[in-house]
Structure 1
Amino acid sequence: MTITAGSANGASIPKKRQRIGSTSTRHSSSHDPSREDAVPIEPFLKPKTFCRSTSHSSGGFGGFNDSSTADVFLQLHLDESVVLYSDESEPVPVPAPFDSTEQVEDIQVYLHSDVIIHRSKYFAALLSDLWQTEPEAGETDRKMYRFGLVVPNATGSIEDHLTVLELLYTNDFTSVIDSVSVALSILPVALKLLFEDCVKSCVRFLEAVSWSDEEEKRVLSFLPLLREEESRELLGRVLPLRNDSCEEMLHGLIVTAINNHPNMASAKAFVAMLLRESSKEATSKVLNRAFETSFKMVKESLDEYSSPDFRGYHNDTEAIQRLNLHSAMTNGKHLLWLVERMIELRVAENAVKRWISQPLFTIDLLRAFRDDAWKNIVPGLPSVMLRCTSRLAIAVASGSVLVDKKGRMQLVKDWLPVLALCKDSSSPFFSSNKSLYVEVEETFLRIISTLPMSDAQELLQRCLSFSTRNVEDCPHLITAFTTWFRRASHPPQAEAENPSSSSA
């Protein structure tokens, strides 16, 4: 038998009860206001949610928990066996060893049927003719409907249930739902009681504010419990519309960093960090896409510069050529940054293949560099092109990107003339980029050493431009020829395969 007690303001008093290991509904059969050891209900309520004056209290009946006018007596039963929802949206039991001597508390609340059946579909069904319990006449012949509601024995569970029950008596949800933690705490209770207005208010608040990572996990766990129209905006916030959303985001960041951001160096550094933390597949796709765009613009700019359409006045043509050179230089810098990222992240296969199969591109470069205009307009353009070549050639020579014999030979054959022309230039370019020249030369010689001797012989003869008057300044070239002549001193292949024939 559960004994309740009332206070001067109508609040009911919870009492200690023995756990009996059952979650069945219990009914109160007596009312003893003389109990002095009972605990008042107010401490279980959050201070800002306990309001006596509500929008429904002026309709001829009392407010929340007013025992003098209530016709519904609701007893909240704590029970550890109630199933809760975890962050992963999977039901898990709350572990609690059974102890028949353990004492837990029931909380008793007075409600008004005229209020709760209009706000909560759960209570509307509970108080319907089909399901309602038999009313009991009180001292003033007032009918009392008595129900029990099982509450999970979790931290804050009682307070959350009492908050939602009190919200049945008001439309002022904003004064209560003022943080993500509050919204997430009372949302499952509102869903259980089918309190649509409260559910909408919680969802609306969650849509409008930011979440921590842990709060986002809890939001995701509630999404399956919401209707489609209720969860649409929350879903749009946490779930992508397309499978390639990450790739589109990364590509957009790359384009912004290299083209539009005023503080380009900082933006590039940040995007490089994001690329390192992304999947290799996504990184490869976005970098290849950006590489193709920048490479295309460099080639088109040099093609137009090398073969200008001489229409109009000479001043117009000169302006167009300047524009083409500036475009080639700008996009060449973008290209160099992209190549460095692709090599760093080991996704440079496509870039190497594209750089190899570009005989027309190197021809345009030679035409442009034979003209003296670039020296005054974009003096750094040869350096940018050779740095791209060096990075990709090093990847080939080191085996980071595996290229067949034909591709390795084509890479050296096409880019050797560009290297030689830049080195023989009369501008001060050579003195300021000597180390870059030596780096490219050494890399080309390493690639040549991987080719059959006949191909290596052809290409080494073109490498005499690497030599200087002071032989000691070109040890890399000396080593390459020494290696070739050492190999040439071996017996020919036919004799090596059949040594007995030579001895005969």
Structure 2
Amino acid sequence: MDTALQTKPCRFGDKNTSDIVICLKNREGIPKRFYSHSSVLINKSKYFANRLSHPGSNNCIDIYCSEVNYDHHVNLLRLLDLPTDSILDSFDSVKSAVGILQLAVFFQCEEIACCCIQYLEAVPWEDKEEELILKAVSKLGPKAMPILARIQPVDLAATKDVFISAVRIATSIAGPCPPFGNELKTSAQEQVEFMLGEDEDAPLVTADEEVKSVLRMGLSQIYSSFEKELSSLLLEPDLVSERAEEKILHSLCDLEWMCNILGKMDLMKDFVSNWAESSSNVLGVVENNKLDSFMWGLKIKLIEITAKVLEAVGYGNVILPTPIRLTLLKTWLPYIRKMKPLLDSKGSQETGFPYKMSEDLCQSIEGAMVTLVLALPSNDQADILADWMGAEQVRYPDLSEAFEVWCFRTKSAKRRLVEGLDGAGNATVSL
């Protein structure tokens, strides 16, 4: 900047000191004049320096812009006249800084572009602004690294550390987290689910031995909490109170969440084994006479979780020995068969009764039970089918498909036996 302009500061729009007029023209070609200074433009912008060094240049520069970025052009021209240490303080929004950054790159205003990057790197963004920022910095190369560092992919080791920490909080392995309490736990559960969400991208976390170990610890912790709440349920002085059901339901919802998580990490067998082992104790409490007219939310939630277990075993996703599969079926079939008409009756008697077995849930249980029955030894199938048909209400679950297949298989087995005996009786010995 020359001596005259140093003694008399350059101010954007000052006609008295201006020696350059910049005309911003919109799509209609209507110009708006802004008074600037050649020394400033040359020092701050390589684009304007090249324009003004052209032999045929004059004291008027035409720039075409759209209505969308008109304000950004004006702001950029104002920033050119500001001292460097004042540029950062002039930004008032992410949108404005991104717009100015795009123009600063185009007009080769390195100083302003660096200030935009510094501002964007330091301030919070909204989700909708992120794509705009990425588009703006995509051509900046190494200069954009401070911005990109915030959103670049995290290495697998760091991601795993975050995931494991979240699982510990979500399952209360490390105990409660005052002062956040359940809010942090709920948030951790949501984010663990999000990290395991199925989409077109590769999974964020792989189930290595360390991850599996923490998940199993979490399952043990949640099961322990559930069993503790369940065993103390009958000791509650007021079973009608919402508080009594709320405590056990909260624990059961944690268990359901764990079921969903383990299913995504190839650890469903751990959950199913625990559920099969504790089923008789669970029903021993739930079917107590004290709970005949209460805890409908607990009862329907138990059926929903059991449906997931039955599906996993029935369709072969979890392989269990025959005795465990048989016990699982014989434990839950009578209970579900009893609860379905009872819940339907409550629903028809009480308007707005929320605890019903949905059609999808019913179909899921029915299909899983049919496949479970058909995978058992034929004598065990016969016992279950005889008990099912001997019940007062055979409407649900409908095991008629399993009954038909059993009849066909039994007849075929007998035929094979007879044919085998006939073949043995007619056998000749040749020397």
State the identity %: 13
Moved more, 408-417 or 430-439: 430-439
- Report the equivalent of 1:386: 303
What secondary structure does 1:281 align onto? coil
What secondary structure does 1:304 align onto? helix
- Report the equivalent of 2:405: 483
- The alpha carbon displacement at 1:366 in A equals 2.8
- Report the equivalent of 1:239: 152
One-letter amino acid of the counterpart of residue 443, structure 1: A
Deviations, residues 246-276 of structure 1 (Å, cap 9, x unaligned):
9859969x969xx649x99xx99xx889945
Cα pair distance change 1:240/1:416, threshold 3 Å: same
Identify the match of residue 223 of structure 2 among 299, 316, 331: 299
Task: Name the TM-score, length of structure 1 as normaliser.
Answer: 0.50
One-letter amino acid of the counterpart of residue 387, structure 1: E
1:448 aligns with 2:373: yes
1: distance between equivalents of 2:90 and 2:400?
Answer: 83
1:328 aligns with 2:248: yes
Cα pair distance change 1:212/1:390, threshold 3 Å: closer
8 Å Cα contact 1:342/1:348 also seen in 2: yes
Flag structure 2 segments of 5+ consecutive residues without an equivalent. Answer: 1-14, 26-30, 172-181, 347-355
Larger Rg: 1
The 5-angstrom pairing of residues 407-422 of structure 1 reads 407=321, 410-421=324-335
1:42 aligns with 2:22: yes
What secondary structure does 1:476 align onto? coil
Deviations, residues 388-411 of structure 1 (Å, cap 9, x unaligned):
2223423554x4x5344x457633
8 Å Cα contact 1:326/1:378 also seen in 2: no
The 5-angstrom pairing of residues 59-70 of structure 1 reads 64=40
1:402 aligns with 2:317: yes
1: distance between equivalents of 2:382 and 2:278?
Answer: 23
2: distance between equivalents of 1:293 and 1:330?
Answer: 19
1: distance between equivalents of 2:22 and 2:396?
Answer: 91
1: distance between equivalents of 2:419 and 2:327?
Answer: 30
1:208 aligns with 2:123: yes
The 5-angstrom pairing of residues 180-219 of structure 1 reads 180-186=98-104, 189-191=108-110, 195=111, 198=112, 200-206=114-120, 207-208=122-123, 210=125, 211=129, 213-219=131-137
Aligned residues: 350
What secondary structure does 1:402 align onto? coil
2: distance between equivalents of 1:171 and 1:426?
Answer: 73
One-letter amino acid of the counterpart of residue 131, structure 2: D
Deviations, residues 232-258 of structure 1 (Å, cap 9, x unaligned):
4x3453235554659859969x969xx
The 5-angstrom pairing of residues 464-475 of structure 1 reads 464-467=386-389, 473=395
One-letter amino acid of the counterpart of residue 317, structure 2: L
1: distance between equivalents of 2:274 and 2:282?
Answer: 14
Task: Name the TM-score, length of structure 2 as normaliser.
Answer: 0.56
Identify the match of residue 222 of structure 1 among 140, 145, 152: 140
2: distance between equivalents of 1:426 and 1:64?
Answer: 82
2: distance between equivalents of 1:282 and 1:327?
Answer: 33
What secondary structure does 2:150 align onto? helix
1: distance between equivalents of 2:366 and 2:293?
Answer: 26
Identify the match of residue 283 of structure 2 among 366, 375, 381: 366
More strand by share: 1
One-letter amino acid of the counterpart of residue 481, structure 1: F
1: distance between equivalents of 2:234 and 2:323?
Answer: 41
- The alpha carbon displacement at 1:220 in A equals 4.6
- The alpha carbon displacement at 1:350 in A equals 2.8
One-letter amino acid of the counterpart of residue 406, structure 2: W
- Report the equivalent of 1:501: 424
8 Å Cα contact 1:332/1:384 also seen in 2: yes
8 Å Cα contact 1:393/1:444 also seen in 2: yes
What secondary structure does 1:418 align onto? helix
2: distance between equivalents of 1:208 and 1:476?
Answer: 61
- The alpha carbon displacement at 1:373 in A equals 3.6
Identify the match of residue 267 of structure 2 among 350, 353, 371: 350
8 Å Cα contact 1:419/1:437 also seen in 2: no
Cα pair distance change 1:249/1:458, threshold 3 Å: closer
2: distance between equivalents of 1:213 and 1:373?
Answer: 58
1: distance between equivalents of 2:164 and 2:33?
Answer: 43
- The alpha carbon displacement at 1:224 in A equals 0.8
- Report the equivalent of 1:87: none
Cα pair distance change 1:501/1:372, threshold 3 Å: same
- The alpha carbon displacement at 1:356 in A equals 3.8
8 Å Cα contact 2:325/2:372 also seen in 1: no
- Report the equivalent of 1:56: none
- The alpha carbon displacement at 1:365 in A equals 0.7
Moved more, 388-397 or 167-176: 167-176
One-letter amino acid of the counterpart of residue 137, structure 2: V
* Greater relative CO (CA pairs within 8 A, separation 6+): 1
- Report the equivalent of 2:178: none
- Report the equivalent of 1:32: none
- Report the equivalent of 2:351: none
